[in-house]
Structure 1
Amino acid sequence: MKKKIGYTLLIILSILIIIGFIGVRKFNTALFKEKPNHLEYSFESKPIYFEWTGDTIGGFYEPQVAIIIPLKIEGLAHHFYMQFDTGSPHSFIYEKDLNSLRSIGMDINEVIKDDARYVEHFDFVLDGNHIKASMIKILQNYGHTFDKNDSIGRIGIGTIGSDFIGNRITAIDFKHQKIQLFDNRPKWMTSLPKFKPFDFTGRRIMLPVTVDNKDYEFLYDSGCSAFGLITTKNRFDKYTNGNTKEVNYDAKSWKSSIPIRSKKTDKLVSIGNANLKLKRVSYVDMYTTLQPLITPFTKIGGWLGNQPFNESTLIIDTKTEEFTVIKD
């Protein structure tokens, strides 16, 4: 009888391992597969100043929920903006906002390529930078409607994703809240700390990070503005003080809601040539028992947000796949 129970448990465990292996492989393939980049645009390499936007989530006010960049369209008095989100491999214009732009008189054509819809041409201004773009992907059934009289409130019409910084050098100065794009490294970058390699497979920014003398690859996601590091429950416990108050709320991710558990921390990490404070460590309160089993087989050691860089400048060269961090 004991042998039968043992064999049954062994079979169940084997099935779970097989299912887990298949699931992890699908996860890695979906996240890191190469994606076509049809986006093209011209720019003037002027500083683009951004703003932090705050929100109350589950009774807790978070002052840095997202990085938003004011956007102007010639002939319109509306206060548009786009979110800067390197966690998204595509830049988007939202379909509902696109339809509203058309309804107030803009002539915007679209094309279909690789079974996806794109805006053929779209000209706009990001803080003095005149952007002439083509092939911006359309995110269906997303966004908000507005009319010609909605010129007081802010209107988010899209997302600037990692395709926007592809084949570019991007300097993100978090302290002074500005982003600057370059086609080639300017001379002033020659005196910076040595650039180090990172992985940009699938347009995911995988930065090498050292924590407690252990090396990881963290996915840098500027859309995770409120977080320092999102990791597993066991690392969360290791990197934070057990006596520190835990903050629990549901974070928005596109159309989904994710249960997040967070704590403040003084934990130092090495990113590039800089030692930075994580400031906040979090974990997703879902499948916590499976995380230690699955995580070692994924390429992601965690999701790195903006909090560690708040007093620094992060420079990402996607041409050479190298980066550096300048502490202010």
Structure 2
Amino acid sequence: MTQGLGPGAGYFWAIQTTPLPIPMRPLFKVIFSVLALLVASGIGGYFYMRRQFMPPPNQLVVTELPATCSFAWLADTAAGRAMPHAAVLVPVQLPGCPRTCYLQFDTGAPYSVLYAKPLAALQARYPALPFVGAAQLDTARNFRFAIGQGQVQARWLKVLNTGATQLPADSTAPFVIGTLGADVLAGQALVLDYANRRFSLVAQVPANLARQATFVPLAFTNRRVLLNMGLQGEDKQLLFDTGSSAFALLTDQANWQAMAIPGAPAHTVGVNSWGKTLTAYTVPTAAALQLGGVTLPLRTVSYIENTDWKQNLLMRFSGMGGMLGNEPFRQHTVIMDVRGERFGVVRR
């Protein structure tokens, strides 16, 4: 504070700036004002982060259940790493369209979206389709599709300017037109048989299947599938994200380091997150999930670098221990019983 004021100035400055006693009442007001500001900032931050987690109202109406189909795996290769199970693709039928289209099933997305470029390609090939002009808009209204015999109608869906621009020459090749989010699960139950690639959305879990399953609590807060499971000897809340199929568990760097097998090399791969390329690091792990008496080895654990501040804050604010992908369950049948607030793994 006294640097550059000259010899002796420090003593003079100290004398001149010695604070006079502040009366208790003004001091109390100052302290109270600071505390009030901190509380107000904390409350404001809480509600800001809560709004970031809050999805728009559910626009999907699902009828004529069960909606049962055979899903497809989307394969991918990134940075030399073969990923045969990069995404779960659910086949859908559109009114007036002879071609089967696909939606990527992503429980990490709290609402479904469509992709503008595939819609435009479909419209060019089949001019009679009922969603004329949707590809040029940011919203498609009264959009209908079928999953097996189940019928889904969306009052409106967001349309993102992404996706394939041309239909594949092979009419049996999956043509992805959007994302099927967790909104399709609201009030329902989903039986996902990974081993036999069966997707079945039902009003309630069949009793005979429920008797074969081990269940843990499931919360569907803000249309996010949150599971309570044992991990590393602790009870953890994990988000089940079928959109992160290529990874067993995504967590933060500290947990990643703690769970890694010592000395094991990390595999680095670039991943696309809504048009932004992020870097994922994956290492072998001996850790396993615990669901009652069922043990599910993770085999690998990953963390992603270069996530933005908003994503980091959302993760911390949620209290989640990480995001589970499909990989630990790939040889099992899982039950997401949103109505019954439980998640089950069918014993083999």
Is the pair's TM-score, using the shorter chain for normalization, greater than 0.5? yes
Q: Within 2, Cα distance between the matches of 1:148 and 1:285?
A: 34
- The answer as to 2:130 corresponding to 1:108 is yes
Shift of 1:142: 2.2
Task: Give the structure with higher Rg (CA).
Answer: 2
Q: What's 1:37 paired with?
A: 58
> Does the residue aligned with 2:108 lie in a helix, a strand or coil?
coil
Q: Within 2, Cα distance between the matches of 1:224 and 1:283?
A: 12
Q: Within 2, Cα distance between the matches of 1:148 and 1:57?
A: 21
Q: Within 2, Cα distance between the matches of 1:183 and 1:88?
A: 21
The structure with more strand, counted as a fraction of residues: 1
Shift of 1:37: 0.5
Shift of 1:168: 0.6
Shift of 1:25: 4.1
Q: What's 1:5 paired with?
A: none
> Does the residue aligned with 1:188 lie in a helix, a strand or coil?
helix
Give matches, 1:145-156, under 5 Å: 145-146=165-166, 151=171, 153-156=173-176
Q: Which residue identity lines up with residue 299 of structure 1 in the other structure?
A: G
Q: Which residue identity lines up with residue 84 of structure 2 in the other structure?
A: P
Shift of 1:226: 0.8
- The answer as to 2:186 corresponding to 1:186 is no
Deviation per CA, 1:229-250: give whole Å up to 9, x if none. Answer: 1111121111111222210011
Q: 1:306 aligns with which of 304, 326, 339?
A: 326
TM-score, structure 2 as length reference: 0.76
- The answer as to 2:215 corresponding to 1:199 is no
- Root-mean-square deviation (CA), in Å? 3.6
Contact 1:108 1:120 in 2 (8 A): no
Q: What's 2:272 paired with?
A: 252
Shift of 1:148: 10
* Distance 1:183-1:147 versus aligned 2 partners, 3 A rule: same
Contact 1:91 1:136 in 2 (8 A): no
* Distance 1:59-1:296 versus aligned 2 partners, 3 A rule: same
Q: Which residue identity lines up with residue 176 of structure 2 in the other structure?
A: G
- The answer as to 2:93 corresponding to 1:93 is no
* Distance 1:205-1:246 versus aligned 2 partners, 3 A rule: same
* Distance 1:199-1:96 versus aligned 2 partners, 3 A rule: same
Q: Within 2, Cα distance between the matches of 1:133 and 1:79?
A: 17
Give matches, 1:309-320, under 5 Å: 309-320=329-340
TM-score, structure 1 as length reference: 0.80
Give identity over the alignment, percent.
Answer: 27
Contact 1:251 1:260 in 2 (8 A): yes
* Distance 1:232-1:27 versus aligned 2 partners, 3 A rule: farther
Deviation per CA, 1:206-264: give whole Å up to 9, x if none. Answer: 11122122121111100000111111112111111122221001111222211100012
> Does the residue aligned with 1:145 lie in a helix, a strand or coil?
coil
- The answer as to 2:85 corresponding to 1:64 is yes
Q: Which residue identity lines up with residue 60 of structure 2 in the other structure?
A: L
Please list every run of 5 or more consecutive structure 1 residues that lacks an aligned counterpart in the other structure.
Answer: 2-16
Shift of 1:48: 1.6
Please list every run of 5 or more consecutive structure 2 residues that lacks an aligned counterpart in the other structure.
Answer: 2-37
Q: 1:276 aligns with which of 290, 296, 310?
A: 296
> Does the residue aligned with 1:198 lie in a helix, a strand or coil?
strand
Contact 1:87 1:221 in 2 (8 A): yes
> Does the residue aligned with 1:236 lie in a helix, a strand or coil?
helix
* Distance 1:47-1:148 versus aligned 2 partners, 3 A rule: closer
Contact 1:79 1:153 in 2 (8 A): no
Q: What's 1:51 paired with?
A: 72
Q: Which residue identity lines up with residue 106 of structure 1 in the other structure?
A: A
Shift of 1:51: 1.8
Shift of 1:191: 1.5
Shift of 1:94: 1.7
Q: Which residue identity lines up with residue 90 of structure 1 in the other structure?
A: Y
Shift of 1:172: 0.9
